[in-house]
Structure 1
Amino acid sequence: MLCSTMASSFPAIAVAAHLRPSVARMPRSGVGPRVSFLCEVVRSSLSARKPLYLTPNRVLCSAKPRGPFSETRAHEASRNDAIPLSSEESRSAAAQKLKIGFYFATWWALNVVFNIYNKKVAVAHTIGHVAATVCMSKVAVSFTHIIKSGEPAFTVLVSRFLLGEAFPLSVYLSLLPIIGGCALSALTELNFNITGFMGAMISNLAFVFRNIFSKRGMTGKSVSGMNYYACLSLLSLVILTPFAIAVEGPKVWAAGWQKAVTEIGPHFVWWVVAQSVFYHLYNQVSYMSLDEISALTFSMGNTMKRISVIVSSIIIFRTPIQPVNALGAAVAILGTFLYSQAKL
């Protein structure tokens, strides 16, 4: 290196354009004088008060003062600055969005049909709820749940004869007190009604099919219990609406609503809302349980649930009950306990 300098604030190296004539006039007699002369020229041309820079062609030059820096940033274009699309491009974009929406709708519909309707779960779900509602409108709530406590018997019989599943002998023996207790309660029921009794039996059979096929549909966790029940409810609404309009119709609905408001009062609206919410949550939680257990265990738990319903309905509604009727209910409940022990 020929020479080096230190500025007061920062190091700088520069050679001005007028150095070239000076360098050209250097003596050529020896290396030492030539180097000394060049260093003297560089020292005389340096200034610590000027910023120095290095040019791309590697020539050291004196820096010229620059103006203030301007900062450029990207910004979002306003709607006025947007480039308008042609009508043909707009139609093409709209058609593309419509096609994607159609694909998603078809995808969802086919998935629902494959997972639910193809297994007839929604039909069984609808029939079971309608039959249970008809039963409760004809007989006492306690009697409805006593008859519906025989659901494990229907589960075993359907699984054995229609699906070919085998069970140990203890399971079949546990069905005897269940069937006997339900029969004893039905024979000694004071307010017995054949329509209500048949409604409870149909509801048992329909819910057994729903539970069995729903459990098969949720195999492999392709759909959760909550989503499964949501799809069932929507499809059941579609199935039930035409029958409700054909059998009853708006006139019957209006008359029934007016009668209910007259007998119960204006609070009837809130009762309907509360009943709808709690009934949906009850079935939602039951399907969440079905997602974790077998169909038979679910039927057992559903039967044990009826114990609290039977006792509470008798106390709240003050339903008259005979000792033999209570004995039949106790025998049926004992059968569910034996059934649960046989399944362990």
Structure 2
Amino acid sequence: MESRVLSGTTAISGLGRLRKQISREITNNTCVVPTTRSIGAVGDGGNLIWGRQLRPVLLLLEKSPAARIPAVKREILRPSFAAASSPAEGSDSAGEAKVGFLEKYPALVTGSFFFMWYFLNVIFNILNKKIYNYFPYPYFVSVVHLLVGVIYCLVSWAVGLPKRAPIDANLLKLLVPVAICHALGHVSSNVSFSAVAVSFTHTIKALEPFFNAAATQFVLGQQIPITLWLSLAPVVLGVSMASLTELSFNWTGFISAMISNISFTYRSIYSKKAMTDMDSTNLYAYITIIALFCCIPPAIIIEGPQLLKSGFSDAIAKVGMTKFISDLFWVGMFYHLYNQLATNTLERVAPLTHAVGNVLKRVFVIGFSIVVFGNKISAQTGIGTAIAIAGVAIYSYIKAKIEEEKRQMKAA
């Protein structure tokens, strides 16, 4: 009996020591058990010790509400993990969104720019010449070209595609000479188109690199390498051969095409002086607006009386009011869009690629105009045109290579 009491006392005291030991182990392992709780408070889980004494600390950690550290950690880590994973998922989706069609297939997009540039240019030249066959008023048609372009720009600005760039007095002073040269070159080109075959006008306009080289050396004072001058010899020879035997030749068409070359040459010179951070779309829009105001006075003075007398009535009698207005609208739209695409294409490719593309464009225009209008050309005209185009290609290649070497030297 005494021994039973002593043994019971010993067992109870041993249980107390065990609970104290477990409390110390919990305290040492988790550093969370509050000091205000008594050891007996853990006795709710003490019965587990009697039933299973294997790894009592882990059992108490699983069952004791005060010591569920892993559960608390899961509650803390779960939002953190979600927050950390959400940006990652968002960044992946954003990355996939950023890699769109334009970035994934740049060559295909650039090729489509070239195709649309050629296509719109060919359609413009064909429709423009068809209009002159029943409405031979190039000054008024030039105004229509620019007027449709201005309307297109105003509508684009109104819808915010693109957003209109601000312009100040200083920038306006820089753009006015560019726009005047653009207007003069545009009108003189149309006068040539109305007077001679489209193919012949483009053959004469192949001389534009010659005027550019001459202006660069004698106006800007920049030395032109001898290789560039030699490459222009086939151009001059080819244009001379084509002009001598061109069946549609007349001095009005020839001189007007030459004036166009000179005007566009000076437009390039003034454009270099008017270099600005404005994007090409807004820049061309402002030039178009200024050029329109430059073209209206000569159209009214030179062709106004004749238009009011019989010009409009004759054209409407031949094709009808609807077709007449529709042709004028679409030729203006094609003119503006092909010029805009030419500028946008230049921004996407190297100067050499653009130069070669410009030469190929002229070949397409000459070829399609001959096929569509059935213009008869002599063998000498065909050979001269081919020599001129080949000379322009050689000149463009050499010039682009020289500019590339200059850029590399500056970068080095």
Question: Distance between the aligned counterparts of 2:352 and 2:223, measured in 1?
Answer: 13
The alignment-based identity, stated in percent, is: 39
Q: CA deviation at 1:141?
A: 0.6
Question: Distance between the aligned counterparts of 1:233 and 1:300, measured in 2?
Answer: 26
Q: CA deviation at 1:254?
A: 6.2
**In the TM superposition, what whole-angstrom CA distance separates every residue of 1:54-83 from its partner, at most 9, and x where no partner exists?**
xxxxxxxxxxxxxxxxxxxxxxxxxxxxxx
TM-score, structure 1 as length reference: 0.63
2:252 alignment partner AA: T
SS of 1:116 mapped into structure 2: helix
1:271 to 327, 331, 354: 327
List aligned pairs for 1:103-114, cutoff 5 A. Answer: 108-114=167-173
Is 2:241–2:381's contact at 8 Å kept on the other side of the alignment? yes
**In the TM superposition, what whole-angstrom CA distance separates every residue of 1:110-153 from its partner, at most 9, and x where no partner exists?**
14423312xx1111001000000000111011111111111111
Is 1:124–1:210's contact at 8 Å kept on the other side of the alignment? yes
Structure of larger gyration radius: 1
1:228 aligns to 2:287 (yes or no)? no
Q: Structure 2: which 5+ residue stretches go unaligned?
A: 1-165, 402-412
Is 1:152–1:299's contact at 8 Å kept on the other side of the alignment? no
Question: Distance between the aligned counterparts of 2:182 and 2:308, measured in 1?
Answer: 23
Q: CA deviation at 1:227?
A: 1.4
Q: Which residue of 2 aligns with 1:304?
A: 360
TM-score, structure 2 as length reference: 0.53
Is 1:212–1:295's contact at 8 Å kept on the other side of the alignment? no
Moved more, 310-319 or 157-166: 157-166
1:115 to 174, 177, 193: 174
List aligned pairs for 1:1-344, cutoff 5 A. Answer: 108-117=167-176, 120-218=177-275, 221-249=276-304, 252-253=307-308, 255-265=310-320, 266-290=322-346, 301-343=357-399, 344=401
Q: 1:281 to 1:141 in 2, by over 3 A?
A: same
Question: Distance between the aligned counterparts of 2:262 and 2:356, measured in 1?
Answer: 15
Question: Distance between the aligned counterparts of 1:259 and 1:295, measured in 2?
Answer: 46
Q: 1:297 to 1:320 in 2, by over 3 A?
A: same
2:311 alignment partner AA: G
Q: 1:182 to 1:208 in 2, by over 3 A?
A: same
Is 1:139–1:192's contact at 8 Å kept on the other side of the alignment? yes
Q: 1:111 to 1:173 in 2, by over 3 A?
A: same
2:361 alignment partner AA: K
Q: CA deviation at 1:262?
A: 2.2
Is 2:174–2:273's contact at 8 Å kept on the other side of the alignment? no
2:205 alignment partner AA: K
1:140 alignment partner AA: A
How many residue pairs are counted as aligned between the two chains? 234
Question: Distance between the aligned counterparts of 1:304 and 1:180, measured in 2?
Answer: 19
Q: CA deviation at 1:208?
A: 1.2
Q: 1:122 to 1:282 in 2, by over 3 A?
A: same
Is 1:181–1:331's contact at 8 Å kept on the other side of the alignment? yes
Is 1:147–1:182's contact at 8 Å kept on the other side of the alignment? yes
1:145 alignment partner AA: H
**In the TM superposition, what whole-angstrom CA distance separates every residue of 1:209-235 from its partner, at most 9, and x where no partner exists?**
1123224423xx422221111111111
Q: 1:132 to 1:300 in 2, by over 3 A?
A: farther
Q: 1:216 to 1:291 in 2, by over 3 A?
A: farther
> Superposition RMSD on alpha carbons, in Å?
2.3
Greater helix fraction, Structure 1 or Structure 2: 2
2:201 alignment partner AA: T
**In the TM superposition, what whole-angstrom CA distance separates every residue of 1:153-207 from its partner, at most 9, and x where no partner exists?**
1111111110011222211111000111011101110111101000000001101
Is 1:155–1:296's contact at 8 Å kept on the other side of the alignment? no
Q: Structure 1: which 5+ residue stretches go unaligned?
A: 1-106
Q: 1:308 to 1:269 in 2, by over 3 A?
A: same
2:315 alignment partner AA: A
Question: Distance between the aligned counterparts of 2:306 and 2:391, measured in 1?
Answer: 46
SS of 1:320 mapped into structure 2: coil
